[in-house]
Structure 1
Amino acid sequence: MIQRFIELGEGYGDIFELCELARTNASRLDQTYIMYAKKNDKVVASLAISLKPVGDSKFMPIYLCREGIPYEDEKPSKRLDIFEQAMTELGHVPNRFEIKHSSIFSENNLYYQYLIGILRLNHYIPPMN
């Protein structure tokens, strides 16, 4: 199984696009994620969805809005609320966990390999064949 991240932006429009990708692919929606990372004493959230492969394909796309949402316990972000509401409508409860910030990795590919390792280790996505 090949899993690959497809990065969207971090604005409102990108969150709506991520939610619409989940809605239009509701039959393929596998898992949803809210991942928290800390940088310079600020916590940011990344939102992602993983879709089941199509037919006999061995490709599992993971769409991601990376680290663009400020996260504060006392004042939740509207973008986070939009995502959570859309996933609830689809019958999914996002998996929440803390990760390292992407800035500590020298390349985005290393960061994505790190994320795939975490997702596989926690059995959110299937192992390599």
Structure 2
Amino acid sequence: MIQRFIELGEGYSDIYEWMELLETNEDRFHNVCIFTSVLKDVKKLSVALILKPASESKFMPIYFCREGIEYSLEKTSKRIQLVEKTMKEKNYSPHRLEVKHSSYFAEPALYHQYLTGVLRLHHILPPLS
């Protein structure tokens, strides 16, 4: 099985695209993850939507908005509120994981490999077949 990250972006409109992917692919839903990472004392959140392969395909996409949401105890971001509201409406509970910030990696592909390993370690992604 091929498991690959597809980055959408970090902006406000990207969250709407992410939520639309969830809405239109509800029959393929596998999991949702919210990653927390820290860089220079600033917490950032990333969201990932993991879909099951389409029909006979061996491709498992992971739609990803990387580190575009600042996390603060004082004020919750509108973007994370939208994600949490959508999750609650669908009765899904996201996996929340603390991970390294992507800046620790030389390129995005290495970061994606790291996240894939973390997801497999927590049995969120199935093992390669």
Pairwise TM-score range, normalised by the shorter structure: over 0.9
Partner of 1:20: 20
Structure 1 portions without partners, runs of 5+: none
Question: Structure 2 CA distance, aligned partners of 1:22 and 1:30?
Answer: 10
Question: Structure 2 CA distance, aligned partners of 1:106 and 1:54?
Answer: 32
Question: Structure 1 CA distance, aligned partners of 2:124 and 2:88?
Answer: 18
**Structure 1 vs Structure 2 CA RMSD:** 0.7
Deviations along 1:36-94, one digit per CA (max 9) or x if unpaired, are 00000100000110000011211100000000100012211110000111122222111
Structure 1 stretches of 4+ moved >4 Å? none
- 2:76 aligned with 1:79: no
Residue type at the aligned position of 2:101: H
Q: Contact between 1:30 and 1:52, CA under 8 Å: does it hold in 2?
A: yes
Instruction: Count matched residues.
Output: 129
Deviations along 1:76-120, one digit per CA (max 9) or x if unpaired, are 111000011112222211110100000010011100000000001
Structure 2 portions without partners, runs of 5+: none
Aligned residues with identical type, % of pairs = 53
**Structure 1 length normalisation: TM-score?**
0.97
**Structure 2 length normalisation: TM-score?**
0.97
- 2:37 aligned with 1:37: yes
